[in-house]
Amino acid sequence: MSRALGPFAAVLGRDLLLAWRGRADVLVTLAFFVVVVCLFPFGVGAEPNQLRAIAPGVLWVAALLSTLLSLHRLFAQDHADGTLEQLLLTPEPTVLWVVAKICAHWIATGLPLVIVAPGLALLFDVEQGALGVLVLSLALGTPILALLGAVGAALTLGLRGGGMLLALLVLPLFVPVLIFGAGAVDAYLSGSGAQAHLLLLGGGLLGSLALAPLACAAALRIAVE
Amino acid sequence: MLYANDLACVKGDRPLFRGLSLRVAPGDLLRVAGPNGYGKTSLLRILCGLAMPESGEIRWNDVPVNRDRESYHRSLLYLGHAPALNDLLSPLENLRFACSSGGDKVDEDACIDALVRIGLAQQLDLPARVLSQGQRRRVGLARLFLEADRKLWILDEPFTALDVAAVADLTATLSEHCAAGGMVVLTTHQDAPFAKAPTVLDLAEVAC
């Protein structure tokens, strides 16, 4: 077990260090999220009831778009400099370090969104109780986006115009996450409780955690061949 | 022992070679020769398992490598064209990651010693982006000093961009590895001064 943890920790640690050294990229993603969310009140007007109603959807769509913005970086650098080949030649299962890379990516790009989301929700006058549900839905949902997106990133690795293709490939897959994520807050506000939505998101997270790394590993093998 | 039987390789729709068999026993140094575009790199990538051959089989210690990938890759060290260096990390961090991600226990001092030995004492903590081509190459080659217990080394053009002294040191290291029962498969266009002349596999002979 500890033998397998070594490479997992090595990849996780390295990718987090790289995210820290290249933190400008991470900040751009976060700034994009904040700016997109802030644009909506200007566009739809400052009527409080309307803002309250659209808040969950706006935050979720913005989170989804900013996830998309950073996805292509997940494997691109390692593919270009040959690190990916070396990782594929490690004796440990490919899935192991793929999960480590996705974890590091989520910590660098997804977690900041979860942290700033409640502050932005206040701009939309979302009531206090719903903030917790919003944070929880994002905390469960954004890792799903990272996992599904990683499969797309691996499939489009090294292709010309891969960025556009990646968006077309993964955005439809993000739809269920969007529905249950934004739906959780709506359900809480309408009084029916967010439990069902959150459980479905949790289930989706476990399902994608089990399957996406396998698909990702297979796609990466094809990409280097 | 590495054994390949009746390998064929097709790139796009162009067949590169067919009916290629080779055997590398402990102590052997095999040099894959041939003009550009004859599939030297393709052969090495097939041998290490990054690419699939069109047909044929590769065995490591008499077990087909696709049946026991783990133990094959535990004994294999492949250094390809790309040096696997991240520009934001220092040579030391890159080297440590290369070893630890492969599941090898690495000692910081051993990494430093390897980098000093290969001539990067001044560049230990600089980001890799400021290194020259030859220096980048050396960071990858420093792994050879650390991972001698990996029996099979597959090296793609290891001498490229190295100066004369470095080439001499590298050939000595390779000869040492073979003398200790290791195996080396490499491609090169240069005439390196090996103590014992390597076996040569000329891809022009099996080209389609």
String of DSSP letters for B109-143: HHHHHHHHHTT-GGGTTS-GGGS-HHHHHHHHHTH
- Please give the backbone phi and psi of residue A141, each rounded to the nearest 5 degrees, phi first: -85, -40
Domain regions of chain B by residue span = 2-75+151-205
- For residue range A142-160, what is the model confidence (pLDDT) as tens digits? 999 999 999 999 999 988 8
A223 neighbourhood in chain B, CB within 8 Å:
none
Helix then strand then coil, in percent of chain B rounded to 5, is 35, 25, 40
Q: Are A97 and A7 in contact (CB under 8 A)?
A: yes
- Please give the backbone phi and psi of residue B7, each rounded to the nearest 5 degrees, phi first: -75, 140
pLDDT of residue A3: 58
Say yes or no to pLDDT of A1 above 60: no
Closest CA to B138 of B112, B164, B159: B159
Cβ neighbours of residue B156 under 8 Å, at least 6 residues apart?
B40, B41, B44, B78, B79, B80, B81, B186, B187
- Which residue of chain A comes nearest to B97, CA vs CA? A10
**Does B88 contact A80 at a Cβ distance shorter than 8 Å?**
no
Where helices occur in A72-194 by DSSP H, the ranges are 73-81, 83-88, 94-105, 111-123, 128-155, 162-189
Strands B76-79, B55-60: pairing is unpaired
Q: Identity (one letter) of the amino acid at A124?
A: F
Q: Does domain B2-75+151-205 have CATH number 3.40.50.2300?
A: no
A2 neighbourhood in chain B, CB within 8 Å:
none
- For residue range A96-125, what is the model confidence (pLDDT) as tens digits? 999 999 999 999 999 999 999 999 999 898
**Does B86 contact A80 at a Cβ distance shorter than 8 Å?**
no
**Looking at A70-84, A155-169, A190-204, which range is the least confident one?**
A155-169
Residue ranges in chain B modelled with pLDDT below 70: none
Name the minimum distance, in Å, from the CA of B15 to any CA of chain A: 16
Report long-range pairs for B162-170 (Cβ below 8 Å, ≥24 apart): B162/B134, B162/B137, B162/B138, B163/B134, B166/B118, B166/B119, B166/B134, B166/B138, B167/B192, B167/B193, B168/B193, B169/B118, B170/B141, B170/B144
pLDDT of residue A159: 84
**Nearest residue, CB atoms, B103 vs list A7, A22, A85:** A7
Buried-state track B139-173, b at ≥16 Cβ within 10 A, e below 16 = bbbbbbbbbeebbbbbbbbbbeebeeebbebbbeb
Which of the four pLDDT bands, split at 50, 70 and 90, describes residue A2? low
B17 DSSP β-pair partners: B9, B207
pLDDT of residue B124: 87
> For chain A, what percent of residues have pLDDT higher than 70?
98
Taking residues A205-222, report their average pLDDT.
96
- For residue range A49-91, what is the model confidence (pLDDT) as tens digits? 999 989 999 999 999 999 999 998 899 999 999 999 999 999 9
**Does B97 contact A82 at a Cβ distance shorter than 8 Å?**
no
- For residue range A31-59, what is the model confidence (pLDDT) as tens digits? 999 999 999 999 988 898 999 989 999 99
B30 DSSP β-pair partners: B185, B199
**Nearest residue, CB atoms, B86 vs list A10, A81, A97:** A81
Global ipTM = 0.91
Say yes or no to pLDDT of A4 above 80: no
- Residue A188, both tokens: 């809480």
Interface test with A, best of B45, B97, B143, B147 (most A CBs within 10 A): B97
Domain regions of chain A by residue span = 2-224
- For residue range B65-92, what is the model confidence (pLDDT) as tens digits? 988 999 999 999 999 988 889 999 999 9
**Nearest residue, CB atoms, B103 vs list A18, A78, A91:** A91
CA-angle at A80, arms to A92 and B20, nearest 5°? 65
B101 neighbourhood in chain A, CB within 8 Å:
7, 10-11, 14, 86-87, 90, 97
Q: How many residues does chain B have?
A: 208
